[in-house]
Structure 1
Amino acid sequence: MSELSNELTIERLASLLWVTLNRAAKANAMTVDMMERMTAAIHAAADDAQVSAVMLSGSGERVFCAGVDIREQPADGDMARQRQRRSQALAALQDAVMDCPKPVVAVLNGTASGGGAMLALLADACVAVDTAKLSLPEIDLGIATFSGANILEVIGGRALALDLIQSGRAMRADEAQARGLFCAVAPRDHLIVKAVEVGEALGAKNPRTFAENKQWINRSLKAALSQARDEHARHRELARTES
């Protein structure tokens, strides 16, 4: 499996499928097409006996992913419909990460923020460069993030959600590792080696048992995200009727 493009690279190296965001000049922000192709790649990997784990990474040395590209202009000019497309594409990508029976490892080459941070948190493991940061800064943009809040609350509890969601601050890699959000932190010249080590170790586990454990572990997270998405949809409808 190999796919190269200006915005996304998908290629298998040994038993690991690498899905790399390739928009460093745009903070690796994800377009609808990119999210749909990432989702398709993860689904395909689930059925590919030659793939043991999926690795999500970003190009450049500054940003892993700044979330969805809210400035993307739709071909039909319908911005309301475009917001719905973004939400649906992001939800499908998040579900693909959580539902994939194989390990999904986030490899943070830089800062993960917004939807990018959520993607990293939903992965089975997150390996980060020592200069990476994690942030959900939506509050400083005047945007509520019900999904981000629920993800953090399920993963780390109310205190962690209050800390990052309500402050909007960027958490450094060493603190994220200490709080269990990153499984490993490495210097840049050792990041890929460490990520491969983690991916291969998880990929070597009994596939059926890993998948069953993952499904069970993620049940509360999936329920919380479903609730958050309903709330986001309610807010979008309110905004539409009030405009």
Structure 2
Amino acid sequence: MANDSVILEKKGAAFWITINRPSKRNAMNADVIAGIADGYRRAHDDKDVRAIVLTGAGEKAFCAGADLANSGSAFAQDFSKPNGDLADLMRLSQNATKPAIARINGVCMAGGMGLLCMTDMAVAADSAIFGLPEVKVGVFPMQVLALLQTIAPRRLVNEWCITGEPFDARTALDAGLLNHVVPAADLDAKVEWLIGRITDKSPTAIRRGKYAMRAIAAMSFDESIAYLESQIAILAMTEDAKEGLKAFGEKRKPVWPGK
């Protein structure tokens, strides 16, 4: 356990990060942000971890955003620091080389949408509700936009941010925010299914592939295709690539060295 607000638990090859404030709809505070960041770092330090799962405790909420109970500190900033804690968490997540899955078990609002967008894949219960209600309290989902704008269509992002109106899981799926929507009773089974589809693949290919996807995000086509030519050449020299080709030829399942 990182702190009382976040539970960190290794389950097989997956590292689970659970926001543990169900009575507050798993709202974020400084401890939550620090605990999630700690979880990402621990997951990457453990060579046996192949996937990260980010979720919220209980059945009602994934994360309802910033904790507004203490309105005086909810949006407080230390202006002596060039980077905010949530922004740094987003940077950490985007530089991660292990895949992360969001398990959306309930309400996902405001900063919770930012946590959702941090991950590579997402599975939601069909009862989950999403939204960016910041305009209702006089602010705007500024940091969330950095990731959201690369995932969802611009017209929908405009509507969500400007009206602050909530939307359901089917809308989130159609907009590209989610990979799968399932009944709440099937949520864990679908998450485990997705973990299984990750852990039987080459960890080296996934690690280098995530690194490459991050690198080309801001490149032109000519820049990215030249960069990726070099990346596939490097990847072909790894032990995982050699094992994968050998296993294919021998018609057996590969045993990944992860190198």
TM-score band w.r.t. shorter chain: 0.7 to 0.9
Say yes or no: does 1:124 pair with 2:120: yes
Residues 152/204 of structure 1: CA separation in 2 closer, same or farther (3 Å cut): same
- Tell me the secondary structure at the aligned position of residue 177 of structure 2: coil
- The superposition leaves residues 191-236 of structure 1 with CA deviations (integer Å, 9 ceiling, x where unpaired) of 011111112312433223223332343458799xxxxxxxxxxxxx
CA contact (8 A) 2:87 2:143 kept: no
Following TM superposition, by how much is the alpha carbon of 1:18 offset from its aligned partner in structure 2, in angstroms? 0.9
Say yes or no: does 1:100 pair with 2:96: yes
- The superposition leaves residues 174-197 of structure 1 with CA deviations (integer Å, 9 ceiling, x where unpaired) of 121122211011111110111111
Letter in 2 for 1:211: R
Counterpart of 1:69 in structure 2 is: 67
Say yes or no: does 1:159 pair with 2:155: yes
Letter in 1 for 2:42: A
* Length, aligned pairs only: 217
Structure 1: runs of 5 or more not aligned: 224-243
Letter in 1 for 2:126: D
Taking the aligned partners of 2:71 and 2:41, their CA distance within structure 1 comes to 27
**Which residue of 20, 23, 32 corresponds with 1:22?**
20
Structural mapping, 1:50-199, within 5 Å: 50-71=48-69, 80-81=76-77, 88-199=84-195
Taking the aligned partners of 2:184 and 2:22, their CA distance within structure 1 comes to 16
TM-score (norm 2): 0.74
- The superposition leaves residues 54-88 of structure 1 with CA deviations (integer Å, 9 ceiling, x where unpaired) of 101111221110123244599xx9x9556888x72
Taking the aligned partners of 2:159 and 2:190, their CA distance within structure 1 comes to 29
Counterpart of 2:38 in structure 1 is: 40
TM-score (norm 1): 0.79
Structure 2: runs of 5 or more not aligned: 220-259
CA contact (8 A) 1:154 1:221 kept: no
CA contact (8 A) 2:3 2:31 kept: no
- Tell me the secondary structure at the aligned position of residue 156 of structure 1: coil
Task: Give the helix-richer structure, 1 or 2.
Answer: 1
CA contact (8 A) 1:54 1:104 kept: yes
* The 10-residue stretch of structure 1 (3-12 or 194-203) with the greater mean CA deviation from structure 2: 3-12
Taking the aligned partners of 1:156 and 1:80, their CA distance within structure 2 comes to 28
- The superposition leaves residues 100-148 of structure 1 with CA deviations (integer Å, 9 ceiling, x where unpaired) of 1111111011011111111102200011111002211111222122223
Taking the aligned partners of 1:197 and 1:95, their CA distance within structure 2 comes to 28
Root mean square deviation, CA, Å: 2.7
Taking the aligned partners of 2:59 and 2:80, their CA distance within structure 1 comes to 31
Taking the aligned partners of 2:218 and 2:167, their CA distance within structure 1 comes to 24
Percent identity between matched residues is 28
CA contact (8 A) 1:9 1:20 kept: yes
